[in-house]
Amino acid sequence: MCALCYCSLGFAQTTPKISSAVDTTFIKIGDQLKFKVTVEVDSTDMVIFPEGQTFSPLETVEAFATDTTRKKDRITLLKTYALTQFDSGSYKLPAQRIDINGKGYFTDSLLINVATVPVDTMAQKMYDIKPLIQVEKTNPGWWKILLVILAVLALAAALLYWFVFRKKPLTNAEKEALLPPYDRALLELKKLDNSKYLIQDEYKQYYSELTDIVRSYLEEDANVSAMESTTDELIDKLELLKDAGELELDKDTINQFKNILRTADLVKFAKSKPPTNVALQDRKVVEHIVVKTHEAIPEPTLEELMAQEEYQNELARKREKKKWVIAGTTAIGLLLIAGIALIGYYGPVKVWDTISGHPSKLLLDNEWVASSYGYPPISLESPEVLVRQEVEIPAEAKANIKDLQTFLFREDKSFLTLATTSTTFTQPVEPDFEKTIDQLLRNFEAKGAKNIITKQEEFVTVSGVKGLKTYGSAKFKVPDSEELVKGKYAILSFGGKGFQQQVLLTWEDGDTYAEEIFNRVLSTVEVKTEV
């Protein structure tokens, strides 16, 4: 059976009617009570109910949707709030302002009693707080850069393999080019047999290819410069080689070759047209000359064979070196392209800071942690988990401070500090922000800070909770040094009767990544009193 306290403010029919009620005035710690506000107004009136933590020292758990009932030209609005408290005692539920057409109307204040919950320590064992667990750090920003680099290298390796190192199947022309000069000459003569030059009366083309085959063979296999020589010059060279004993050709073979060359000259330059049987016989004579020349070439000596092998090995080494030069150039080119693309997209400073491991950027790119700290709790996101600090309440402050909980994260390399402090007082009094902020600034000075500049403005969280933002700049002392570094700081202060919550941030001036961290932390700060 729950008690119901009820209060009402009544006016004429055309004026608003406001009433408020709670379903109980007695709860246990952590239990919830329902606070209901009923407003009867004209259908054209604008009504604004209270939002956020306006019920302090009681805490808002949930604000339910407004229930609307219409009767002719009047409407009745019912707004329900779930409230709780986690400390025992008697608490005053303050009067709540209801805005109707810009004019404020107030509900009555009520007294709520919160009782403790007895704990049977004999029936349930008590355990110590578990120690902190070290969690391995992650750098999500690095794996993106690494993924891009690996993708570029994989692409470079694939291209190099496909165009440089892959053994490609040889074409027929490439296979023929690899044949020895003698075999290649015989193969080309057989191809000439299958041609249609003689059938189509293309004697000039026929004799040009016939003489080119034998000239090319002599140049490659007999080392005679035959392609650019005239008929008489070529015959003279063959006779000189014969007389010197370097080419063992008989006189008849040389004369036959001389006759074929002269016939070819007449066909090409004088447009002569020998009988078909003569052309076919000349083709057989050329094959005979190739065979005789091949037989007449002396066998290479051992020194010549070794020199030729060394030459081939040198060619192979040059080809292999060329492949690696192409591979290295391609890889460097792709890396340069990837680097230029990254610099063009992110900017040179950000790319360099990523490669060099800028401490603030590592924190910004880290996997952030969302958590609540202290009681009353302060919720925010941070690059690292804030660690509880053992803070002893001064003897002179114990009469006013019931509990003090501080959590801290500090990165000395980037001079970044993030801390939260939740304070509960022994009496339900309003916090003195100015006094606390003055104490924090004196702590800065005690640690060597100079030239502290202070500004103040209102700060509102995303959920609409209002607080005080104190910010400015100073010259902070570098740890373990006498050097001073210009930095910035910000202090967010919230609170109500019996408690105070503060968030402190400091960072180096000009550190753009630290500025981004600061803005992201501020965008996630929420002061809630739910456990």
Considering the domain architecture, whether residues 377 and 523 belong to the same structural domain is answered as yes
Label residue 70 by pLDDT band (50, 70, 90). Answer: confident
Cα 274 to Cα 277: distance, rounded to the nearest angstrom:
8
The token pair that represents 159 in the structure block: 């291209």
**Per-residue pLDDT tens over the stretch 437-455:** 888 888 888 888 888 888 9
Evaluate if residue 245 carries a pLDDT over 50. yes
Provide the percentage of residues in the chain whose pLDDT is more than 70: 82
Label residue 82 by pLDDT band (50, 70, 90). Answer: very high
Which residue pairs, CB below 8 angstroms and at least 24 apart, start in 11-16? 14/42, 16/40, 16/41, 16/45, 16/100, 16/105
Which H helix or E strand runs over 519?
A: helix 512-524
**Per-residue pLDDT tens over the stretch 179-228:** 788 888 888 888 888 888 888 888 889 889 888 988 888 888 777 888 88
Considering the domain architecture, whether residues 286 and 431 belong to the same structural domain is answered as no
Label residue 531 by pLDDT band (50, 70, 90). Answer: very low
Of 101-105, 139-143, 186-190, where does mean pLDDT reach its minimum? 139-143
Evaluate if residue 85 carries a pLDDT over 70. yes
Give me the pLDDT at residue 124, please: 56
Give me the pLDDT at residue 9, please: 39
Cα 470 to Cα 527: distance, rounded to the nearest angstrom:
17
- For residue 192, the enclosing domain spans 179-296
**Per-residue pLDDT tens over the stretch 470-501:** 999 888 887 777 788 888 999 999 988 888 99
Give me the pLDDT at residue 125, please: 60
Higher pLDDT, 530 or 198: 198
Give me the pLDDT at residue 154, please: 82
Considering the domain architecture, whether residues 410 and 501 belong to the same structural domain is answered as yes
Give me the pLDDT at residue 317, please: 80
Cα 439 to Cα 491: distance, rounded to the nearest angstrom:
12
Report, as an integer, the average pLDDT of 429-438: 86
HSE-up of 258 (CA within 13 Å, CB side)?
Answer: 14
| Helix ranges (DSSP H) in 447-485 | none
**Per-residue pLDDT tens over the stretch 268-304:** 888 888 888 888 888 888 888 888 888 877 666 666 5
Q: What is the CATH number of the domain that holds 63?
A: 2.60.40.10
Evaluate if residue 145 carries a pLDDT over 80. no
Considering the domain architecture, whether residues 98 and 191 belong to the same structural domain is answered as no
> Angle of helix 140-160 relative to helix 348-356, nearest 10 degrees?
100
- Please provide residue 519's backbone torsions phi and psi, each rounded to the nearest 5 degrees: -65, -35
Label residue 15 by pLDDT band (50, 70, 90). Answer: confident
Evaluate if residue 345 carries a pLDDT over 70. no
Label residue 1 by pLDDT band (50, 70, 90). Answer: very low
User: Looking at the domain assignment, is residue 171 inside a domain?
Assistant: no
Cα 20 to Cα 480: distance, rounded to the nearest angstrom:
60
Three-state secondary structure of 148-209:
HHHHHHHHHHHHHHHHHHCCCCCCHHHHHHCCCHHHHHHHHHHHHHCCCCCCCCCHHHHHHH
CB 428 within 8 A of CB 57: yes
Report, as an integer, the average pLDDT of 7-28: 72
Domain closes at, from 280, 296, 312: 296
Give me the pLDDT at residue 350, please: 62
User: Looking at the domain assignment, is residue 140 inside a domain?
Assistant: no
User: Looking at the domain assignment, is residue 146 inside a domain?
Assistant: no
Label residue 309 by pLDDT band (50, 70, 90). Answer: low
**Residue 414: which residues within 8 A CB-CB, separation 6 or more?**
359, 360, 363, 507, 508, 511, 513, 514
Domain closes at, from 296, 313, 330: 296
Give me the pLDDT at residue 43, please: 82
Considering the domain architecture, whether residues 189 and 274 belong to the same structural domain is answered as yes
Cα 203 to Cα 58: distance, rounded to the nearest angstrom:
114
Q: What is the CATH number of the domain that holds 236?
A: 1.20.120
What mean pLDDT is reported for the chain? 80
Higher pLDDT, 118 or 474: 474
HSE-up of 201 (CA within 13 Å, CB side)?
Answer: 3
CB 75 within 8 A of CB 41: yes
Considering the domain architecture, whether residues 515 and 379 belong to the same structural domain is answered as yes
The token pair that represents 90 in the structure block: 């008697």
User: Looking at the domain assignment, is residue 386 inside a domain?
Assistant: yes
Which H helix or E strand runs over 17?
A: strand 17-22
Amino acid, single-letter form, for residue 392:
E
Domain closes at, from 296, 326, 359: 296
Higher pLDDT, 121 or 355: 355
Give me the pLDDT at residue 461, please: 86
- Other C-beta atoms closer than 10 Å to the C-beta of 369 total 14
The token pair that represents 438 in the structure block: 């003055």
Q: What is the CATH number of the domain that holds 376?
A: 3.40.1000.10
Distances (CA, A) of 313 to 2, 155, 309, 320: 102, 31, 6, 10
User: Looking at the domain assignment, is residue 162 inside a domain?
Assistant: no
Provide the percentage of residues in the chain whose pLDDT is more than 90: 6
User: Looking at the domain assignment, is residue 331 inside a domain?
Assistant: no
Cα 340 to Cα 332: distance, rounded to the nearest angstrom:
12
Higher pLDDT, 203 or 360: 203
Give me the pLDDT at residue 318, please: 79
Cα 94 to Cα 109: distance, rounded to the nearest angstrom:
5
Cis peptide bond N-terminal to 274, omega within 30:
no
User: Looking at the domain assignment, is residue 195 inside a domain?
Assistant: yes
Report, as an integer, the average pLDDT of 459-479: 86
Considering the domain architecture, whether residues 104 and 232 belong to the same structural domain is answered as no
CA 508 to chain centre: 25
Considering the domain architecture, whether residues 271 and 374 belong to the same structural domain is answered as no
User: Looking at the domain assignment, is residue 154 inside a domain?
Assistant: no
Considering the domain architecture, whether residues 183 and 76 belong to the same structural domain is answered as no
Considering the domain architecture, whether residues 95 and 202 belong to the same structural domain is answered as no
Considering the domain architecture, whether residues 110 and 189 belong to the same structural domain is answered as no
Considering the domain architecture, whether residues 376 and 518 belong to the same structural domain is answered as yes
The token pair that represents 508 in the structure block: 């180096």
Number of folded domains in the chain?
3
